[in-house]
Amino acid sequence: MKFKRSSLMYYFFSLIGGLLILFILLPLLHSILSQSPPILLKEATDRGVQEAIFNSVFLAAVTAMVAALLGVPLAYILARRNFFGKSLVESVVDIPLAVPHTVAGIALLFVFGRYGVVGGPVEKYLGLRFVATRLGVVAAMLFVSLPFMVNSAREGFESVDVRLEQVARTLGATPFEVFRRISFPLAMRGILTGWVLTWARAISEFGAVIILAYHPMTAPIKVWDTFTQLDLRHSSAVAVLLLSVCLVGFVSFRLLAYGGMRKGNGK
């Protein structure tokens, strides 16, 4: 009796799970299948669309790099140290997840705008501008995607046994050497996951980017722009093009990263 009831539960749970998967796939498949080939071809060969897709993919990758450079050290500290105000720092890291992205965009504009506390001096002394530049796109993408990097990398570091680091110290390695040869390689899986999540989140960002840098256009903005300039059919063609590029990138990166990682990852 008991066995039958539990197996019934698994059928029921699988049914619910299946609905969820369908909920994700159906809209995406529908947009792909309902395309008119001529419009798709026209948009695919459009210079502006190509540029927008390149901007999204490339700038999101740059964002993920910057996020890794800035996020990994913080993640290591959060994973290994206890200090006064740690939970406050943890909350701050998660804030971008809760802030509506248009709100984030406006807040960023005030600070990184031409007369903002950061934007002003940076333009004056370094000659760099955030508003309507690729730098601005990266800043907006970074703001909304950084939590993914920090949290994943932190989980990666937490999965590394502290005793491995301690034993490396007794063998003569300094804290930085321990980080370089033990903690970092062993947390690589978490860091790569963070990188992929950050990249994916950055590509999909619309709200914050549109406010800080409408131009140079990224793909989500191009979709919006095409919708307002032309119609839904054209904009959905752009959407499907971006979608395909993202899926191909996402899937191949996962295969590459995790396929090669399986060997060395112990814990």
Partner 1 sequence: MIEAKNLSIDLGEFKLVSVNLSIETGEIFVVLGPSGAGKTVLLETIAGFYSPDEGNIILGGELANDLPPERRNIGFMFQDYALFPHLTVEENILFGTRYKRIEGAEEKFKEIVDTLNIGNILHRLPRTLSGGEQQRVSLARALIVEPQLLLFDEPLSALDERVRESLRDELRTVLKRMNQTSLYVTHDQTEALVIADRIAVMHDGQIVQTGKPDEIFNAPVNEFVANFVGVETVLEGKVISHHDGIAVIDVGGVEVAVAADIPMGGTVLLGVRPESVVLGTVDKVRESSARNNFEAKVTKLTPLGAVVKVGLDCGFPLVALLTKQSIEELGLTEGRKVLASFKATAVHAIAK
Alpha helices by DSSP H, the chain = 2-33, 37-44, 47-80, 86-98, 101-112, 119-121, 134-158, 162-170, 175-178, 184-186, 188-204, 207-212, 219-229, 232-261
Least Å from the CB of residue 170 to partner 1? 4
CB nearer to partner 1: give 41 or 261. Answer: 261
CB nearer to partner 1: give 204 or 265. Answer: 265
Applying the rule CB under 8 A, the residues between 150 and 189 that interact with partner 1 are: 161, 163-164, 166-174, 177, 181-182, 185-186
Least Å from the CB of residue 81 to partner 1? 14
Binding footprint of partner 1, residue count (CB under 8 A): 21
Applying the rule CB under 8 A, the residues between 186 and 205 that interact with partner 1 are: 186
Rounded-to-integer distance, Cα 73 and Cα 219, Å: 31
Could you count the other beta carbons within 10 Å of the beta carbon of residue 63? Answer: 27
CB nearer to partner 1: give 189 or 234. Answer: 189
- Four-CA torsion 191, 194, 198, 201, nearest 10 degrees: 160
Per-residue tokens: 61: 């990758």
Applying the rule CB under 8 A, the residues between 99 and 138 that interact with partner 1 are: none
Least Å from the CB of residue 67 to partner 1? 24
CB nearer to partner 1: give 108 or 178. Answer: 178
Least Å from the CB of residue 260 to partner 1? 13
- Four-CA torsion 113, 116, 118, 120, nearest 10 degrees: 80
Least Å from the CB of residue 31 to partner 1? 43
CB nearer to partner 1: give 74 or 188. Answer: 188
Enumerate residues 6+ apart whose C-beta is below 8 A from 212: 105, 108, 109, 112, 130, 131, 136, 137, 139, 140
Residues that bind partner 1 (CB under 8 A): 161, 163-164, 166-174, 177, 181-182, 185-186, 264-267
